[in-house]
Structure 1
Amino acid sequence: MKLDIALIQCEPTLGDLDANREKISTWLDKIPDHVDIILLPELANSGYHFIDEKQAERSSEEISQSGLVNDLKAYAQSNDVAIAIGLAEQKDGIRYNSALWITPQGVEVTYRKAHLFARENLFFNAGKEACPIVTWKGARIGLMICYDWTFPEVWQWMAQGQVDLVCHLCNLVMPHAQQMVKTYAFSNHFYIAQSNRVGTERDLTFTGASSIIAPDAEVLVHASKTEEEIIIGTIDTDYSRDKQLNPYNHKTRDTRRDIYPRSYKEDKVNLEMLRQEKRQLRKYIKQNWANIPPKELHDKSKAVLDKLESMKEFIDAKKVLLYWSLKDEVYTHDFVRKYAKTKDIYLPVMKGAELDLAKYTSDENLDNDNPFGIFEPSNEILLDNNELDLIIIPGVAFDRQGGRLGRGKGFYDRLLQQCNTKTIGIGLDFQLVWSIPKEKHDQLLSMIITNA
């Protein structure tokens, strides 16, 4: 999959929110229609080198009250783009050097810079969360701000998060930073889009040279060191995801965890990273469901179930676990009714933290008296789950390796731990993603079926 990335290299006016809002609007008017992601520099709303506390205070703004942010939200919605911008943020009386990730759905992520540089420590509080990883148009994208780049742990975080692209919003003044990040692009085999600024504020001169760097460290496009301009480049996620360096070496699999083990503390960090990724992926899929009209859901569900009922495994199965669909799942009600005439169809029944299975006989025997409002049979419970010939389950998202992302309660994972039966996940095309973040308890499925 290819995405076009635009970098706006500009010179903000120090302390003038209105002038910077107008300037950014002018730059956005010059962005071509085909662009998928737009990057602006760090502190694009305010400038960087504040004279004193009062100027920093006047130059910071609440996200919910920012005219600039409202402009960017409207632009993203009108043009179906994502925008990453750095700004001086004020929140509950505390200032942050922040980056916003804005999509047609609004401000999806606010990252507060964790590693403050030089005099930033006088005016901002450091953020307490790791650099975020988001999903946009199927690509996995990490956000970082300027000085974050000097810490290897940040790049390792991005690599473990399987990003395709790192968006690096900068006000670079240190020499050679643009050259040094090429090493991280190559060693981790992902793209880096580095959006820097130009100009001089008192004794600081910013070094420009914004660029997009490929996984092989090639500079695809770059800007000048001194001029305001827009540069545009194309990334290809098929390339960033192909970690095979040569017939003998693979960038990810070659990592020697046996001799460079993670510490206990790192394992806790990795676990939180996985859970953060899961939350973001659930949010992304939920946004896709919001755009599916009923007829499209019905048609795509039929395409999925047509594939399922033509499979030998389904044709031969006598006892099948299915599910009574919710509005954000492949529609199964008619399918359950149809095959209950010729097979023993079982549906899940919640019992505490576990799932029991009960046979479907008719709609009249369904009841949704549970915390989630899911319709369940009130018939006799199947005592041995291994009597099932086939298990068919929904999910929030799936990957081609059999990974499944559920709603976060673990009901199906606990059920599958007890079963040795072939398991099929069914979903719509947008629910099949490149990779599902996996924890130890997550169970792999035998196969995935979508309408695609």
Structure 2
Amino acid sequence: MVDKNTLRQVYLAKRLTLSPPEYNKRNRLLADKLIEYIDFVQVRFMHIFLSMTDKYEVDTFTIIRIVRELNPDIKIAICKTLPKGELSHYILNDRTRIEKNKWGIPEPVEGEAADIEEIDLVLVPLISFDKLGHRIGYGKGFYDRFLKKVPHAKKVGLALTPPLDTIEYSDEMDVKLDACVSPFEIYEF
């Protein structure tokens, strides 16, 4: 049996083997599936991560653009990493200044604070996921701690790869997804 850290390393490496045309194709298909799955007219406040496209994470910048075209009234929150594994949340608007942090993650350096109690949809980053709704993230627990604070919000993972059958090393700290959207299929848990 392989531990989570090994799976994390293997699937990060696999993601980096995608060719640029394949990466772009998967992002287009994923965005189409997401729009098919989520009725963005019904969403009032969405939380989304800003992707590290140089590490071939899901291209969330395109998703943000599409969501704004579909529903310009939707509020969008993004996050910033804080010490001790916490996230702070900001409303994404024209005044939000974004820079890459020490891990290369784009995040706000200043902006309007977001009230996470209002969030009704969270689009969750991941490296891999399984058919039961467990995910492998980057291993710091930032999103698991955040997701526990928004039990009322729908939690949807975004993945460029198909699921594993099962991730053996899930524990009580891990928060399961409600669904995961990939370029290939929509998975509900």
Q: TM-score, normalised by structure 1?
A: 0.37
Equivalent positions of 1:385-400 (< 5 A) are 385-400=116-131
Q: TM-score, normalised by structure 2?
A: 0.85
- Whole-angstrom CA distance in 2 between matches of 1:312 and 1:290: 28
- Whole-angstrom CA distance in 1 between matches of 2:48 and 2:93: 13
Call closer, same or farther: CA 1:351–1:407 in 2, change over 3 Å.
same
CA displacement at 1:348 relative to structure 2: 1.3
Verify: 1:344 aligned to 2:67, yes or no: no
CA contact (8 A) 1:317 1:390 kept: yes
- Whole-angstrom CA distance in 2 between matches of 1:440 and 1:411: 15
CA displacement at 1:363 relative to structure 2: 8.7
Q: Which amino acid aligns with 1:328?
A: Y
Q: Which amino acid aligns with 1:407?
A: Y
Pairing partner for 2:97 from 347, 361, 365: 365
Q: Which residue of 1 aligns with 2:148?
A: 417
- Whole-angstrom CA distance in 2 between matches of 1:428 and 1:311: 16
- Whole-angstrom CA distance in 2 between matches of 1:451 and 1:364: 30
Q: Which residue of 2 aligns with 1:318?
A: 44
Gaps of 5+ in 2: 185-189
Verify: 1:285 aligned to 2:11, yes or no: yes
Q: Which amino acid aligns with 1:446?
A: D
Q: Which residue of 1 aligns with 2:132?
A: 401
CA displacement at 1:394 relative to structure 2: 1.2
Q: Which residue of 1 aligns with 2:187?
A: none
Verify: 1:376 aligned to 2:102, yes or no: no
Runs of 4+ with deviation above 3 angstroms: 312-315
Pairing partner for 1:450 from 174, 182, 188: 182
- Whole-angstrom CA distance in 2 between matches of 1:361 and 1:416: 23
- Whole-angstrom CA distance in 2 between matches of 1:333 and 1:380: 19
Pairing partner for 1:302 from 3, 14, 28: 28
Call closer, same or farther: CA 1:312–1:293 in 2, change over 3 Å.
closer
Q: Which amino acid aligns with 2:160?
A: L
CA displacement at 1:340 relative to structure 2: 3.8
CA displacement at 1:403 relative to structure 2: 0.4
Gaps of 5+ in 1: 1-132, 135-276
Which protein is bigger by CA-based radius of gyration? 1
Residues 121-159 of structure 1 deviation map (CA, whole Å, 9 limit, x = unaligned):
xxxxxxxxxxxx34xxxxxxxxxxxxxxxxxxxxxxxxx
Call closer, same or farther: CA 1:396–1:363 in 2, change over 3 Å.
farther
Q: Which amino acid aligns with 2:143?
A: Y
- Whole-angstrom CA distance in 2 between matches of 1:429 and 1:290: 12
Call closer, same or farther: CA 1:301–1:363 in 2, change over 3 Å.
farther
Q: Which residue of 2 aligns with 1:38?
A: none
Q: Please state whether the residue corresponding to 2:80 is helix, strand or coil.
A: strand
Verify: 1:335 aligned to 2:63, yes or no: yes
CA contact (8 A) 1:322 1:345 kept: yes
Q: Which amino acid aligns with 1:330?
A: V
Aligned-residue sequence identity (percent) comes to 28
Residues 339-380 of structure 1 deviation map (CA, whole Å, 9 limit, x = unaligned):
346121111111222111111124972122x32121112211
- Matched residue pairs, number? 175
- Whole-angstrom CA distance in 2 between matches of 1:316 and 1:308: 14
